[in-house]
Amino acid sequence: MIKLFVFIFLSIGAIISSRDYLFKLQSHGFYRLLAFEAILALLLLNVDKWLSLPTSLVQIISWSLLLLSAVLASHGFYLLFKYGQAKDNIENTTALVRKGAFRFIRHPLYASLLFFAWGVYFKHPSFFATLLSILCSIFLILTAKVEEKESIRKFGSEYISYMKSTKLFIPYIF
């Protein structure tokens, strides 16, 4: 019961912070909110198994993905703050960043969320966790694709060229 209250409480916070995107299906914020909700549900589903069997293969995979997620998120935020020339907030960068992870992938922050979701999944794989992880992955892909349309409007041919030289989430693969 407490997990349900935590889910509702945190969901209300996420909805309030994403209120500008709630009914804008052509905005990346709408799909990002859905990805966050899937991650929150996945976290609450697997929180009881977070430290069980610490040396098992699934836990090693899980911790590896969670560590990769943390490093990628930290690196991505650093680069956006340092080189993105944000106006007001990180959502409103005025310069296209092509350094660090951005040299290889267009969406390191969404990639970090993808790795985080699958890292949480491997804490305790189950049918429902699989479903949530797949949904989260779909929502993150949709988030990135919609944001790319927004970036093309903002940066024009420079972003189109950038798209041709990078991958979506995983270097050399996807």
For the chain, give every domain's residue range. Answer: 2-165
User: Tokens in use for 169?
Assistant: 């989430």
CB neighbour class for 25 (10 Å; exposed up to 12, middle 13-18, buried from 19): exposed
Model's pTM, two decimal places? 0.91
Give start and end residues of each alpha helix (H) in the chain.
2-17, 28-46, 57-83, 108-121, 127-155, 157-165
Low-confidence ranges of the chain (pLDDT < 50): none
Nearest to 133 by CA among 149, 151, 115, 148: 115
